[in-house]
Structure 1
Amino acid sequence: MARALSVSELYAKKRKLLAFEGEWEKHLGQPEPFKTWLIWGDSSNGKTTYVLKLAKYLSQFGKVLYNSMEEGDSESMKKAFKRVGMEDVRRRVMLLDNEPMNELEERLKKKKAPKIVIIDTVQYSEMTFSQYKHLKETLPNVLWIYVSHEDGKLPDGKVAKRIRRDAMIKIRVVGFKAFPTSRYGGTEPYIVWQEGADKYHGSEF
């Protein structure tokens, strides 16, 4: 049985944080590096572009592995990478072409494996919530970022909805704006594409 922490011990405990700055700190705060995030939204709202911009920013903190289970190694994904200027970070962001989750787990168990992993999407991974918990417990030193389709205003399907409840950061992308709910202090929406956001939400945004 683990020992209970006193209030002073809890306050004194030093935690590693991702030192986000500028617009990303205003958007998400300064997160812990080994937790779960969920990003969801409808198609044609800027979700993929947002996820790739986030991956590019995160690459300064460690290598990012992007498992594209929906678009894979496609012309559309190549264009999306070019759209965010991913060539600036070169091998700091690596694309996987629809790698099955069991193979991804084995990859991540290797020495020097990336510690930031994006799964796009929960639906195409066909994972159960038990498999989600298994990965989280087996590979606790990984930042897991899951991407989901949308059903109404919520993630699509029972698994994605349960991941949303468990996630430390939740981000809904709608009308080319990413709206965060972060346990680390971030509150400001992130503009994925200004012209598209203005048309969708109104020019005051």
Structure 2
Amino acid sequence: MAKIKRAVSVDELLKKKFKVFPLEGKFKDLLGTPERTGHWFFYGESGHGKTTLIMQLVKELTKYEKVEYNTLEEGARLSMQMAVEGNRMNECRKGTFKILNKLPIDQVKERLRRHKSAKILVMDSVQYTFLTKKDFWEIDEEFGQSHLILWNSHGRGKRPLGALAEAIMFHADQKVFVQGYRAYSKSRTSRGKLTEPYTIWEEGAKEYHDPL
């Protein structure tokens, strides 16, 4: 692993070229033009569409990189099969999307260290990783500038659930709150401003936000 340069001049920073995802349409409205490495954090209460949103998003991201989805909470069971089928993940380019069935973090790290590893990892959910904050910072130190990790987290109201989830959220480049099948994002590159909401499921969002 290349040693990370700790001191960078202003000229060096201004001249540096960053790899980004050239998103279009509703995903661009939600996330802008995000960098391809770091951490994205998704949170909200159960049953509001977080998993569906992440499936929809990673389906788009497979146009650019391989994605591995570590289903720690559900496992490779019927509910995950339904999520994969419902979002037609079989339409991803061959070999660009793979489900990891409750893979422990030490095995996840080994996969990420491989020369041709998937560059995008989904951890679903934060509360089922059983990591400490120290564990997270170690993951960030080793992989934060070479991979993109999407963290799915339970929430209570408008806050993530637990100290680990809060630590990841504060550090994340993209912070996406999901409520009533709509997603709302703040990012470092948007300088804290809310971007355009993304509707995950039109009928469900209308029923939740605009009841008769």
User: Which band: TM-score by shorter chain?
Assistant: over 0.9
Q: Report the residue type matching 1:153 in the other structure.
A: K
CA–CA distance in structure 2, aligned partners of residues 183 and 2 of structure 1: 20
Q: Report the residue type matching 2:100 in the other structure.
A: L
Partner of 1:85: 88
Give yes or no for contact 2:44–2:157 (8 Å, CA) kept in 1: no
Partner of 1:10: 13
**Could you tell me the TM-score, scaled by structure 2's length?**
0.91
CA–CA distance in structure 2, aligned partners of residues 86 and 42 of structure 1: 24
Structure 1 outlier segments of 4+, above 3 Å: 1-4
Q: Report the residue type matching 2:199 in the other structure.
A: I
* Equivalences for residues 94-113 of structure 1 within 5 A: 94-113=98-117
Q: Does 1:129 align with 2:137?
A: no
Q: Report the residue type matching 2:105 in the other structure.
A: M
* Equivalences for residues 45-56 of structure 1 within 5 A: 45-56=48-59
* Equivalences for residues 62-73 of structure 1 within 5 A: 62-73=65-76
CA–CA distance in structure 2, aligned partners of residues 194 and 23 of structure 1: 13
Partner of 2:39: 36
Report SS of the residue matched to 2:95. Answer: helix
Closer/same/farther in 2, CA of residues 183 and 82 from structure 1, 3 Å limit? same
Deviation of the 1:2 alpha carbon: 4.1
Gaps of 5+ in 1: none
Give yes or no for contact 1:148–1:156 (8 Å, CA) kept in 2: yes
Partner of 2:119: 115
Closer/same/farther in 2, CA of residues 2 and 80 from structure 1, 3 Å limit? closer
CA–CA distance in structure 2, aligned partners of residues 78 and 126 of structure 1: 24
Q: How many residues align?
A: 202
Quote the RMSD (CA, aligned, Å).
1.5
Deviation of the 1:10 alpha carbon: 3.0
Deviation of the 1:13 alpha carbon: 2.2
Partner of 1:193: 201
Report SS of the residue matched to 2:19. Answer: coil
Deviation of the 1:91 alpha carbon: 2.6
Closer/same/farther in 2, CA of residues 97 and 200 from structure 1, 3 Å limit? same
- Between the two proteins, what is the percent identity of the paired residues? 36
Deviation of the 1:121 alpha carbon: 0.5
**Could you tell me the TM-score, scaled by structure 1's length?**
0.94
Give yes or no for contact 1:28–1:184 (8 Å, CA) kept in 2: no
Partner of 1:141: 146
Gaps of 5+ in 2: none
Give 2:170's match in structure 1, choosing from 165, 186, 193: 165
Q: Report the residue type matching 2:151 in the other structure.
A: Y
Give yes or no for contact 2:169–2:175 (8 Å, CA) kept in 1: yes
What CA deviation, in whole Å up to 9, does each residue of 1:97-150 have, x standing for no partner? Answer: 000011110111111010100000010010111111111111230101101001
Farther off after superposition, 77-86 or 12-21: 12-21
